[in-house]
Homo-oligomer: A and B are copies of this chain.
Amino acid sequence: MTEDLSAIFSPERLSGGGPGPLYVKLRRTLEEAVKIGRLKQGDALPPERDIAEFAAVSRVTVRKAIDDLVAEGILVRRHGSGTFVTKPVSKVEQRLSQLTSFTEDMARRGMTARSEWLHKGIHTPSPDEMMILGLAAGTKVSRLSRLRIADDQPLAIEHASVSGEFLPDPAVVTTSLYAELEKRQVRPVRAVQRISATNMKESDAGLLGVPVGAAGLSIERISYLGSGRAVEFTRSLYRGDAYDFVAELTIGAT
């Protein structure tokens, strides 16, 4: 991770960052890195000594740049530990009783949602996928993985597997998977979700900016056509501290 960050603080980038004293340039550089998401909420900055070395300035200069951002509340210092991008998040609710896209869902709550694609590709199905999607031997499956982000806060990781028959080329999906399926006249009408809690492993925790072992809400969804044929299989992992579902139930028939 540190080697990636060294790029942010290279002397060349600082000089190109406009006029003013060194610490102002550094501050702008840092501010930009946070703003564009290069440094995400909860991330630790490299140690001041390292930044100073990368940027070829003294540590005090680095501190002065950071001072301003701390005063703005963008960064938080912890003595002996490090400097971190501030992280409070508000909880979001989702109505379980309807199946909507993440983007629509966030928009309804007045949050700006975006995604970062982690992967798009077409593959030979895993045994799980074959069974769940009911695939014949020789058929392929499209896999799409993305990081769901709301108000610049990573909120969930989503892995979708779609039968290649319904989506031969995953690259065409840019925003909504459902919209793309709709274009192809593929309209799921029913879905089953399995909801469970799990402790996050390192890779997922890292992506979502939470500590290893943090509670996550795992949701597996299979959606079906009217014919009963399975279309799509999605596994999502939501941050437990930032998301919850609301379900409305009616008491009655078994």
Give A contacts to B, CB under 8 Å: 1-3, 19, 27-28, 31, 68, 71-74, 91, 93, 96-100, 188-202, 212-218, 223, 238, 240-241, 243-254
Q: Give the nearest-CB partner of A71 in chain B.
A: B213
Q: Which residues of B contact A254 (CB under 8 A)?
A: 98, 100
Given known pairs A98-B254, A199-B71, the reply for A245 and B194 (CB within 8 Å) is: yes
| A213 partner residues in chain B, CB cutoff 8 A | 68, 71-72, 199, 213
Complex CA–CA separation, A196 to B245 (angstroms) = 6
Closest to A1 in B: B19
CA A244 to CA B192, docked complex, whole Å: 13
> What's the least CB distance linking A108 to chain B, in Å?
9
The answer on a CB contact under 8 Å between B196 and A240 is yes
Q: Which residues of B contact A31 (CB under 8 A)?
A: 201-202
Report the Cα distance A197→B243, complex, angstroms.
Answer: 8
Give the residues in chain B near A245, CB-CB below 8 Å: 194-196
Please give the distance in Å from A81's CB to the nearest CB on chain B.
Answer: 13
Chain B residue contacts of A251, Cβ below 8 A: 98-99, 188-191, 223
Q: A27-B202, A68-B202, A71-B213 are in contact. Are A250 and B195 (CB under 8 A)?
A: no
Q: Is the CB of B19 within 8 A of A202?
A: no
Most buried by B among A194, A199, A223: A199
The answer to whether A198 and B246 have CB atoms under 8 Å apart is: no
Q: Is the CB of B19 within 8 A of A2?
A: yes
In the complex, the answer to whether B249 meets A97 with C-beta atoms within 8 Å is yes
A191, chain B: closest CB distance, angstroms: 5
Cross-chain contact A199 with B212 (CB below 8 angstroms): no
Q: Are A190 and B248 in contact (CB under 8 A)?
A: yes
13 A-B residue pairings within 8 Å (CB atoms): A2-B19, A68-B212, A68-B213, A71-B199, A73-B198, A98-B254, A188-B251, A189-B251, A190-B249, A193-B247, A197-B198, A197-B218, A247-B247
Known pairs A215-B216, A216-B215; A199 contacts B73 (CB<8 A): yes
The residue of chain B having its C-beta at the shortest distance from the C-beta of A212 within the complex is: B68
Contact A199 B240 (CB under 8 A): yes
